[in-house]
Amino acid sequence: MRASLALTAAIYAAGLAAWSGWCAVADAGRPRVLSGALVVLECALVLHGALGAVALIAGSVPAEPAVYGGYLVASVVLIPAVAAGAADRGSRWDHVILAIGCVATAAVALRMLAIADA
């Protein structure tokens, strides 16, 4: 379940990055649905992080537990950290910042998948 959740989160984050990128190109204000979609992504990442932490505590150790733990923490804090810097504005560059955060989140989710499978 963790693997499919990580893959779903990676694809979803990539989609949100594309959407944010489009908003930046169009220089439109931030749609409320995009903010909602970011919250959904964060919920999925928190759930995945909780499942991963439980698995680590239970002894289901991936190839690099320290790196995996780091990625788990990074996946949970990335979106709030990035969104905080672009929260109250809806400018072109705020959407660029959101897109960067979503791309990084997708990369982290894919890295976790790779480590878990190794």
Partner 1 sequence: MREPRPGPLRALLVAYRILAVAALARSGAQLATRASAAPLAYGLSAFAGAVYLTAAIALAAQGPAARRVALVACSTELAGVLGVGTLSLAIPDAFGDQSVWSQFGAGYGFAPLVLPPLGLWWLTSTLAPRWPSSDRCG
Scan residues 4-33 and list those touching partner 1 (CB under 8 A).
Answer: none
Q: Which of 47, 55, 96, 115 binds partner 1 (CB under 8 A)?
A: 96
> 118 with 63: CB under 8 angstroms?
yes
What spatial distance separates the first Cα and last Cα of the chain, rounded to whole Å? 16
Scan residues 56-85 and list those touching partner 1 (CB under 8 A).
Answer: 64, 66-67, 70, 74, 78, 82, 85
Residue-by-residue DSSP string for 3-16: HHHHHHHHHHHHHH
Judged by beta carbon, residue 37 or residue 83, the one nearer partner 1 is 83
Cβ within 8 Å of residue 51, ≥6 positions away? 1, 2, 5
Total binding residues for partner 1 by CB under 8 A?
20
What is the contact surface with partner 1 in residues (CB under 8 A)?
A: 64, 66-67, 70, 74, 78, 82, 85-86, 91-94, 96-97, 100-101, 103-104, 107
